[in-house]
Amino acid sequence: MATSDLSKDLAPIVSNTMADMVEIRLREYLKRKSFRPGDALPKELELAEALGVSRNVLREALSRLRMLGMIETKKKRGMVLARPDILGTFERVLDPLIIDTGTLQDIFELRLVLEMGLADLLYIRKTDKDIQELEAIAKKEVNVDNTFRIKTEIAFHGKLYEMSGNDTLKRFQIMLLPIFDYMVAVEQQPTRGDVTHMDLVQILKNGSKEDFKRGMESHLKPHFDRLK
Amino acid sequence: MATSDLSKDLAPIVSNTMADMVEIRLREYLKRKSFRPGDALPKELELAEALGVSRNVLREALSRLRMLGMIETKKKRGMVLARPDILGTFERVLDPLIIDTGTLQDIFELRLVLEMGLADLLYIRKTDKDIQELEAIAKKEVNVDNTFRIKTEIAFHGKLYEMSGNDTLKRFQIMLLPIFDYMVAVEQQPTRGDVTHMDLVQILKNGSKEDFKRGMESHLKPHFDRLK
């Protein structure tokens, strides 16, 4: 029993370390040889032999690269270098319940920074249609009870990110939302500034970029006040 | 030969799909049972039996969670839930040579948004010591040739992120830098606005937050002009 426990304790560490090393070696190889998306990788057997590792260890390392979206298997062509989804794995680890408090606070602030910095892109790309849709979202908020408030918050700010015309940014903020909501739910203070969503819509319609920046600052003021 | 090719073509797909499913099942289980960092996971053998999969497949899935920093192996205690490094895996896939042009452009813009949104945190947290260090960096830039310009750019803007007091944000922008530099190197137009680094230092010393926001806008103007 003691022996079986020992082998169980040691086995995962050894195999993990090997997979780590193989993963790093493969990355270096792909980079050094300037592999580009679509390029075919050598066969598994050749890779395992060149690295001097078992096929199980090699497959473990390949499985990681596959999970990261760096390689994919194509019919007939075998493994090829792929274009990774840069936010895909990030999404997997963003869970407010397992992230430490310091990082939660950092992410909370990161979202405030993004909101404050969004104005320039918005004023380059906003359209009348966008603003109409944003206004429709803001109108729905009136007389909504607290249960629905988070939903309308998400809809409004999500639409702003969409108007920035930047898909990565939009996806990124959607991922950060659960963290943001978690932090807001933990706090007990009121979270609304003097400038409402509808005020922001009116500024986007008739105001300057500077007006919008000042408006967003007032809108988020309760959050910034808590940082002081 | 044909048969051996076939088994090679099919085997990785099947094993990958199984590992995918096991990975998802394990995540759901950890979430449903409210595992927190430090909690011990059931033994490998029990997990494999409960899931009805081989230990190889289970280990492949566990290896992925280990790579993401979600689990770690402790002496005597076995596998425990860990605090993942949320930017760790993100870093692994950020390579300008394999990311598609649209995403590169998105990341370029994301960094502009972060720079523009930084002022509020800076004005909450900046210290005299910070500003002295920033000034020292800006002074070094004078009479520096183009080879060193990127280095001083990184030092100056890196210090600004450091002054924000947000470690996640600082690490994040360090990761984005290669992408940003790649995009700037690809462009042929001049990339400097009318407001210099030294001007920004003087604003941080004596100017208001609004002055700084306007200053940063002028500093980054050539980049924003390219987006139009």
Full set of structural domains in chain A with CATH:
2-81 (1.10.10.10), 89-227 (1.20.120.530)
The beta-carbon neighbor of B107 closest among A76, A85, A168 is A168
Share of chain A above pLDDT 70, in %: 88
- pLDDT for res A121: 97
Cβ–Cβ contact A9 with B under 8 A: yes
- pLDDT for res B20: 84
A&B contacts, CB < 8 Å: 203
- pLDDT for res A191: 64
- Per-residue b/e over B142-167, b at no fewer than 16 CB within 10 Å? eeeeeeeeeebbbbbbebbbbbbbbe
State how far the Cα of A169 lies from the Cα of A166, in Å rounded to an integer: 5
Is B62 in Cβ contact with A109 (below 8 Å)? no
pLDDT over threshold 50, residue A14: no
pLDDT over threshold 90, residue A177: no
Cβ–Cβ contact B221 with A under 8 A: no
- Nearest in space to B114 (alpha carbons), one of A228, A10, A172, A134: A172
The stretches in chain B having pLDDT less than 50 are 1-2, 7, 9-15
The beta-carbon neighbor of B36 closest among A64, A98, A117 is A98
B contacts of A59 (beta carbons < 8 Å): 12, 15, 60
- pLDDT for res B179: 81
Is A90 in Cβ contact with B44 (below 8 Å)? no
State how far the Cα of B143 lies from the Cα of B149, in Å rounded to an integer: 10
Cβ–Cβ contact B174 with A under 8 A: no
- Nearest in space to B70 (alpha carbons), one of A21, A97, A148: A97
pLDDT over threshold 90, residue A50: yes
**Residue A113, token pair as written in the block:** 């920074």
Coil, helix or strand for A72?
Answer: strand
Matching residue, tokens 């009870």: A145
Max mean pLDDT range (A3-12, A90-99, B188-197): A90-99
The beta-carbon neighbor of B116 closest among A63, A95, A117 is A117
Q: What is the mean pLDDT of chain A?
A: 85
- pLDDT for res A1: 44
Average pLDDT of span A57-71: 89
Is A109 in Cβ contact with B114 (below 8 Å)? no
- Nearest in space to A164 (alpha carbons), one of A131, A134, A119: A119
Cβ–Cβ contact A166 with B under 8 A: yes
pLDDT per residue over A132-156, tens digit each? 999 999 998 776 666 667 778 888 9
pLDDT over threshold 90, residue A85: no
Share of chain A above pLDDT 90, in %: 48
Select the more confidently predicted residue: B40 or A228. B40
State how far the Cα of A47 lies from the Cα of A56, in Å rounded to an integer: 12
Is B107 in Cβ contact with A113 (below 8 Å)? no
B contacts of A124 (beta carbons < 8 Å): 224, 227-228
pLDDT over threshold 50, residue A15: no
Cβ–Cβ contact B164 with A under 8 A: yes
Query: What chain B residue is nearest to A82 in terms of C-alpha separation?
Result: B98
Q: How near does any CA of chain A get to the CA of B143, in Å?
A: 32
The beta-carbon neighbor of A66 closest among B16, B37, B86 is B16
Contacts of range B171-176, beta carbons closer than 8 Å, 24 or more positions apart: B171/B87, B172/A110, B172/B87, B172/B114, B173/B111, B173/B114, B175/B87, B175/B90, B175/B91, B175/B94, B176/B94, B176/B107, B176/B110, B176/B111, B176/B114
B contacts of A56 (beta carbons < 8 Å): 56
Select the more confidently predicted residue: B101 or A162. A162
Question: What are the helix (H) ranges across chain B?
Answer: 2-32, 44-51, 55-67, 88-93, 101-117, 119-125, 128-141, 146-163, 167-186, 197-206, 209-219, 221-227
- pLDDT for res B11: 45
**For residue A69, what pLDDT band results from cuts at 50, 70 and 90?**
confident
pLDDT over threshold 60, residue A8: no
